[in-house]
Chain A
């Protein structure tokens, strides 16, 4: 039996209290690593919908992340060491499976996603139109403050993903996604670092999962820029994808 967890004042000793039964089976997984922005605000915005359980996967943060989340009604899971965003997402998904979740959303911790997009994101799953929903920043002209270089990198990533997976999405590396129960059971992320975004596509294809893209807002702030990836990271992701294809 799972109960809602809440961080106590001393997170290092253990985590939670607040026995709130009937936890929602619609979960939002937020991977976090040394976040210094307003992560509590991000979580509150998600919780304000009143239909989501939040799973925070702390990927071995060495800062005061846990303290900043004290008293929020969330599931808090912490990796002992830093493994990478892909690994954190997979841990969140494994935990969601144990909770017998019906729907899981992945959501970035840095504040670039907008919690008000969540209802539209999960709608296709609730209406059984698709197994997987990908958020896309390019379906509508809602992108704010994106540099030309970043746009180019994302366009290249789209093509690379298409070559390797056969799926052409309008947005290649958007952290906002939703999975239904079937997808949650099938998808197993093994790429610990950033290549996981492409790996999810490969597995959607491999398991014949149906998918749909939904327009979402992306807010680029100086903080999310700092936490984001550069073109050079894009090259590393590309190498990871090639190695993933070669060695599984």
Chain B
């Protein structure tokens, strides 16, 4: 087993441990993750498989295929994060607004007594 294989495998072991601890309660996410990890491990140990798969799909090399798929996943994650940030910002804004208005109202009430 070459050095790069050991490095990559160690990486995914740590990432998977981290996620398994965090996702204990979300079974579906966990199953999907295990599938991805298994796939990653297989590709690392037998990189020849990606080459065969790439040729099936009309891509030159296995590494290129992995790269293209990574770009797709990357964009998907970016959009998911963007939507999440927007909704967080909206709740944050609502809280600040509520707080500001309530304060102004309370002071107004105090003085009208």
Contacts and interface: CB of A to CB of B under 8 A. Distances in A.
Given A83-B96, A87-B97, A94-B97, A76 B112 contact: no
Interface stretch (A12-20, A118-126, A159-167): A12-20
Interface string A129-154: 00000000000000000000000000
Nearest to B99: A80
Contact of B108 (A5, A243, A247): A5
Nearest to B90: A190
A180 interface: no
A107 to B, nearest CB: 18
A77 B97 CA distance: 9
A26 B100 CA distance: 21
A7 to B, nearest CB: 11
Interface string B82-102: 110010011001001101110
Contacts of A83: 93, 96
A79 interface: yes
Contacts of A19: 111-112
Chain B interface SS verdict (over half): helix
A17 B96 CA distance: 23
Chain A interface SS verdict (over half): loop
Bin chain A's interface residue count.
20 to 34
Among B99, B111, B112, max chain A CB count under 10 A is at: B111
Nearest to A14: B107
B108 A90 contact: no
B25 interface: no
A57 B82 CA distance: 28
A80 B103 CA distance: 11
A78 B100 contact: yes
A211 interface: no
A91 B97 contact: yes
Nearest to B89: A192
A101 interface: no
B1 interface: no
Contact of A87 (B93, B107, B109): B93
6 contacts: A2-B105, A17-B111, A75-B108, A76-B104, A81-B96, A90-B93
The 6 closest A-B pairs by CB, nearest first: A3-B112, A77-B104, A91-B97, A77-B100, A79-B96, A1-B112
Given A1-B109, A78-B103, 11 more contacts: A3-B108, A75-B104, A79-B96, A79-B97, A80-B99, A83-B96, A90-B93, A91-B100, A91-B101, A94-B101, A192-B89
